[in-house]
Chain A
Amino acid sequence: MTTTDTPTPATDALGVPADAPATSTDAPAQTVAAADPLVIAGKTLGSRLIMGTGGATDLAALERALLASRTELTTVAMRRFSADAGTSVFALLQRLGIMALPNTAGCYSARDAVLTAELAREALETDWVKLEVIADEDTLLPDGVQLLEATEELVRRGFTVLPYTTDDPVLARQLEEAGAAAVMPLGSPIGTGLGILNPHNIALITARAGVPVVLDAGIGTASEAAQAMELGCSAVLVASAVTRAQDPEAMARAMDLAVRGGREASRAGRIPRRQLALASSSFDGIIETAGTSREAESL
């Protein structure tokens, strides 16, 4: 024991992901966000819930959902300017103090995605981009070849690239090696609400990733967001699950709680799965009635 009063940092024996700061065992209680921020490309975010804005019926409903979600990072799409819509979505995020994360939704080629990212950088004054390069309209699944090519090009151009990818651990690794600031594997196809179809792959990705893993797409309800965090994801992105819920504001709040609960569970370290029961009450001192013999049964 030394004379210093510096708290001893906790070990990472529980497999706390790389972006988690060292915590101290005897520090005063802090809020989850303050003690355990999400860090992507050096930027600290107080919430591990990233929101999308697609699917909301109107801006007022979107605003209520964004506030309820406590998100600090929210995606927008880039489209041709129309006098009707103006710049209202960007203005809303600015007013709420939420960082806009432009995506390249709708791009089918690396070339289109790169130009869209360049336009977004200029319009929104951020070099962050959620990179989407999709293969076809029916599945909206990422095109891995184009995605990797676009990631390499955008990293060369100084972007902070967060690619939306399949749940393929090999591709996730390749994107990280190409310089992605985070990888965003899907749980299931966009808008399906089918949840996490291949939890084993998501766990493989999170176990081997050196950058934050953000579960993106397919989340339908809060338990699936919690599951993503329990699988080791650093954050979750939801759009349709909130904006198309019957009560978007309530679902946004549920997602926030789920992400925080899942993160806490992930850090707490779950018990191993067993084939047979393991009593939580001791059998010592248990009573006997006529005709029963604990010794005989335990054989």
Chain B
Amino acid sequence: MIPVTINGEPAEVPAGWTVRDLVADRIGHPVGEDGRALDGRALGVAVALDDAVVPRSRWAATALAADARCEFVTAVQGG
């Protein structure tokens, strides 16, 4: 397990976990290689690692490094 910070909370994730693994775990649905739902729909979420957005096309290839600061966001009511 490696220590990371997810949405401001300390967390531990298995070594080798990618952004895709994290997103799938949190939303409770599988995520395709292209960072979309398996039926091709947009998931409506985005991830930044250390203040840089990780495009969904790179989720599957981006491993979570130790002490990574991860922001995982979606649309909520507002504005």
Q: Is the CB of B53 within 8 A of A90?
A: no
Q: Is the CB of A239 within 8 A of B42?
A: no
Q: Is the CB of A115 within 8 A of B51?
A: yes
Within 8 A of A (CB), among B33-49: 41-48
- Interface contacts (Cβ under 8 Å), in number, total 110
Taken together as a complex, chains A and B put the C-alpha atoms of A52 and B75 apart, in Å, by 12
Q: How many residues of A contact B (CB 8 A)?
A: 40
- A86 surroundings in chain B (CB, below 8 A): 27, 74
- In chain B, what residue has the closest Cβ to A77? B78
Taken together as a complex, chains A and B put the C-alpha atoms of A54 and B28 apart, in Å, by 26
- A78 surroundings in chain B (CB, below 8 A): 46, 73-76
Interface 9-mer from A116-124, A141-149, A255-263: A116-124
Whether A56 is near chain B, meaning CB under 8 Å from some CB there, is yes
Give chain A nearest CB distance to B66 CB in angstroms. 21
Whether B55 is near chain A, meaning CB under 8 Å from some CB there, is yes
Q: Is the CB of B44 within 8 A of A87?
A: yes
Taken together as a complex, chains A and B put the C-alpha atoms of A91 and B55 apart, in Å, by 20
Taken together as a complex, chains A and B put the C-alpha atoms of A130 and B78 apart, in Å, by 11
Whether A76 is near chain B, meaning CB under 8 Å from some CB there, is yes
Q: Is the CB of A79 within 8 A of B26?
A: no
Taken together as a complex, chains A and B put the C-alpha atoms of A87 and B72 apart, in Å, by 12
Q: A115-B53, A122-B53 are in contact. Are A76 and B71 (CB under 8 A)?
A: no
Q: Is the CB of A75 within 8 A of B27?
A: no
Most A-side CB within 10 Å, residue of B28, B47, B53, B78: B78
- B76 surroundings in chain A (CB, below 8 A): 76-79, 85, 89
Q: Is the CB of B46 within 8 A of A123?
A: yes
Whether A254 is near chain B, meaning CB under 8 Å from some CB there, is no
Within 8 A of A (CB), among B45-79: 45-48, 51, 53, 55-56, 71-79
Q: Is the CB of A54 within 8 A of B79?
A: yes
Q: Is the CB of A90 within 8 A of B73?
A: no
Whether A53 is near chain B, meaning CB under 8 Å from some CB there, is yes
- In chain B, what residue has the closest Cβ to A164? B79
Whether A97 is near chain B, meaning CB under 8 Å from some CB there, is no
Q: Is the CB of A105 within 8 A of B79?
A: yes
Taken together as a complex, chains A and B put the C-alpha atoms of A87 and B71 apart, in Å, by 15
Q: Is the CB of B75 within 8 A of A123?
A: yes
Q: Is the CB of A89 within 8 A of B75?
A: yes
Q: Is the CB of A83 within 8 A of B26?
A: yes
Whether A47 is near chain B, meaning CB under 8 Å from some CB there, is no
Give chain B nearest CB distance to A247 CB in angstroms. 19
- A52 surroundings in chain B (CB, below 8 A): 78-79
Q: Is the CB of A81 within 8 A of B45?
A: yes
Within 8 A of B (CB), among A94-109: 94, 100-103, 105
Having A76-B75, A94-B44, A100-B75, one finds 12 other A-B pairs with CB under 8 Å, namely A54-B77, A55-B77, A56-B77, A77-B75, A77-B76, A78-B74, A87-B74, A94-B42, A115-B53, A123-B42, A123-B45, A239-B79
Could you name 29 residue pairs across A and B whose Cβ atoms are closer than 8 Å? A53-B79, A56-B77, A62-B77, A76-B75, A76-B76, A76-B78, A78-B73, A78-B74, A78-B75, A80-B72, A81-B74, A83-B26, A85-B76, A86-B74, A87-B75, A89-B75, A89-B76, A90-B74, A90-B75, A93-B75, A102-B75, A103-B79, A105-B79, A122-B55, A123-B42, A123-B46, A123-B75, A124-B44, A237-B79
